[in-house]
Chains A and B, each alone.
Chain A
Amino acid sequence: MLKISTNPHMQTTRNTKSIMLDVIVALVPAIIASVLFFGADALRVILISITSCVFFEYLACRYWLKIKNSTTDYSAVITGILLAFNLPSTMPCWMIIIGSFMAIIVAKMCFGGIGCNIFNPALVGRVFLFISFPVQMTVWPNPHFLSLFSPDGATGATTLRMLKSMKTSGEISSDMYTIDELPSYLDMFLGNVGGCIGEISALALLLGLAYMLWRKVITWHIPFYYLATVLVMTSILYYTTGNTKFLPMAHLLSGGLMLGAIFMATDYTTSPMTIKGQIIFAICCGFLTVIIRSFSAYPEGVSFAILIMNAFVPLIDKYAVQRYYGEKK
């Protein structure tokens, strides 16, 4: 029997699943980096997070929404990895499971599953944990390169925490830091610093970015404009005030900025669809990140900045419309 259908009769071989797999491959360097610096603990956090995310999504599809099992598109795996990346390696297992529940059930499935959520699920999970368990969420074990477990269990401050309480001339206080105490830029770039397990190595994240650009999963606009905005703003603040807490390169390389700009802000569902919208979105994210990092009580602002901008995505989509063919602007 012949088939009739509308044109086009050809279709791309890319589908949701292959795109998600590409993102997972892009995340692999960062996973390796996290295991190299935090040992088996990092692997534990990642595995628990992935398992619980996939499990929650399966449960929601099967028993609650009664829709086709959507775990097969691997989006829950990505949420799991990204959530784990935003946690310190000492995070207790049950807290990770609570975070996964928030990410998958509340932030994703409550809105109708893949493609329908307004906020980035992994970030919702992280922010929920961050606000509920501030103590556990701000314990930063020191990196211990190539050893399976932390040899001394020592913890320290993240670069951003140091930047936040930078000593200015004249002040004397024991919990303040000087510029000399900051890790070197090379350490920051490679990931030999304290922090959440996935955010430490800028190099690994950039490798992931390169892979995603090569596979045309994302365009360069969001990461570039996000990072550029942060760099420009901190530079302006640094050179006008001279305050070392605005050290531009330190801001660029530390905290969740790279992770956020490359993997979180570029999430298809929660970012604008047109290039123009994406640029606006990225610049606003960068702006908010610097504002929160510099002037709020929190040392880190990436998750809040992206979540706030997520809420504006429908508005940006409505107004940042691309030019129609033949239309003059």
Chain B
Amino acid sequence: MDNLILLNTLILGSIGLISALVLYLVSKKFMVETDETTVKIVEILPQANCGGCGKAGCADFATACAKADADVFANLYCPVGGQKVMQKIAEIKGFEVAQKAQTTAVLLCQGTCQNAPAKVVYEAVSSCRVANRISSGQSGCPDGCLRLGDCIKSCKFGALSLNEETGLPIIDSTKCVSCGACAKVCPRGLFEIRPVSQNGSIVYVACRNKQKGATARKNCKSACIACMKCSKINDSIKVENNISYIPADIDVEKFGSELAQNCPTGAIVYRENVRD
């Protein structure tokens, strides 16, 4: 009986020992060399793996940071972690970090169910990418929001939600990290990452319709009709292809409300305190 116990102990013990040995050898053989700096940076990163930085994921971004010299590093930015995270990474690397302006995604369309009423019924899978391919959309505007919410599904930070009344997505700029996922997924490129001014205001032309004014107005009340009024207020504003574009570096505090008030169709949007 005693022998049996001893035998069992020995057998089981040796199995355990051999397994441990195999595990050890395998882990030695297949060990991945990781840089200490990379590991440290990975720990700081938000681990959203959103790809907003342009890299494949957080680990990839960390590797890039670890390898980067000062010049390359200046071009690396984690939109999710923002300034705070970049500051910490810069400390590890011993670099100075340049101040970057706060940004947010904005929707360049105001084709709400009221402004641009539906002319046809859309009856297929609820996806803008499909709708964009088969027709100009419910409202008929070939460049407007399709109101099917691919962007909302693409947002990993809950910054986008559907406004049931208007049909358009609402952007919660306090949650938006400017990762650009919505801009990538929108088949009509209706998102722009724009800087927010020091006092937290923003101004932009919320229309991308390239049709002539009259045609555009037929489909949507708040379309840009290229009337050039805004470019008279500030000559850095250019009107091309029947749409006006307000450059990102415009002095929002000075011109913002004036531009919005003078736009005859209300295509120019001026918002204050977007970060609150």
A contacts B: CB pair < 8 Å: yes
CB–CB B121/A3 < 8 A: yes
Per the bound structure, the CA–CA distance linking A36 and B118 in Å amounts to 62
- Chain B residues whose C-beta falls within 8 Å of the C-beta of A4 in the assembled complex: 120-124, 131, 134-135
The answer to the question of B130 belonging to the interface, with a C-beta cut-off of 8 Å to chain A, is yes
Dominant secondary structure of chain A at its interface with chain B: loop
The answer to the question of A6 belonging to the interface, with a C-beta cut-off of 8 Å to chain B, is yes
The answer to the question of A135 belonging to the interface, with a C-beta cut-off of 8 Å to chain B, is no
Q: Which of B109-147 contact A (CB under 8 A)?
A: 118-125, 130-131, 134-135
Per the bound structure, the CA–CA distance linking A242 and B119 in Å amounts to 79
Interface size counted on chain A using CB atoms at 8 A = 6
Q: Inter-chain contact count A-B, CB under 8 Å? A: 26
The answer to the question of A2 belonging to the interface, with a C-beta cut-off of 8 Å to chain B, is yes
The answer to the question of A5 belonging to the interface, with a C-beta cut-off of 8 Å to chain B, is yes
- Chain B residues whose C-beta falls within 8 Å of the C-beta of A131 in the assembled complex: none
Dominant secondary structure of chain B at its interface with chain A: loop
Q: Chain A nearest CB: distance from B64 CB in Å?
A: 33
CB–CB B122/A5 < 8 A: yes
CB–CB B125/A1 < 8 A: no
CB–CB A3/B123 < 8 A: yes
Q: Across the two chains, which residue of chain B brings its CB closest to A2?
A: B120
- Chain A residues whose C-beta falls within 8 Å of the C-beta of B122 in the assembled complex: 3-5
Q: Which of A1-33 contact B (CB under 8 A)?
A: 1-6
CB–CB B125/A6 < 8 A: yes
Q: Across the two chains, which residue of chain A brings its CB closest to B125?
A: A6
A1's partner among B119, B130, B131 (CB-CB below 8 A) is B119
Q: Chain A nearest CB: distance from B146 CB in Å?
A: 11
Per the bound structure, the CA–CA distance linking A327 and B130 in Å amounts to 28
Q: Chain A nearest CB: distance from B131 CB in Å?
A: 8
Per the bound structure, the CA–CA distance linking A4 and B120 in Å amounts to 7
Per the bound structure, the CA–CA distance linking A1 and B123 in Å amounts to 12
Q: Which of A235-293 contact B (CB under 8 A)?
A: none
Q: Chain B nearest CB: distance from A286 CB in Å?
A: 35
Q: Across the two chains, which residue of chain A brings its CB closest to B130?
A: A6
B residues sitting closer than 8 Å to A (CB atoms) are 118-125, 130-131, 134-135
Query: 11 A–B contact pairs at CB < 8 A?
Result: A2-B120, A3-B121, A3-B122, A3-B123, A4-B120, A4-B121, A4-B131, A4-B135, A5-B122, A5-B134, A6-B134
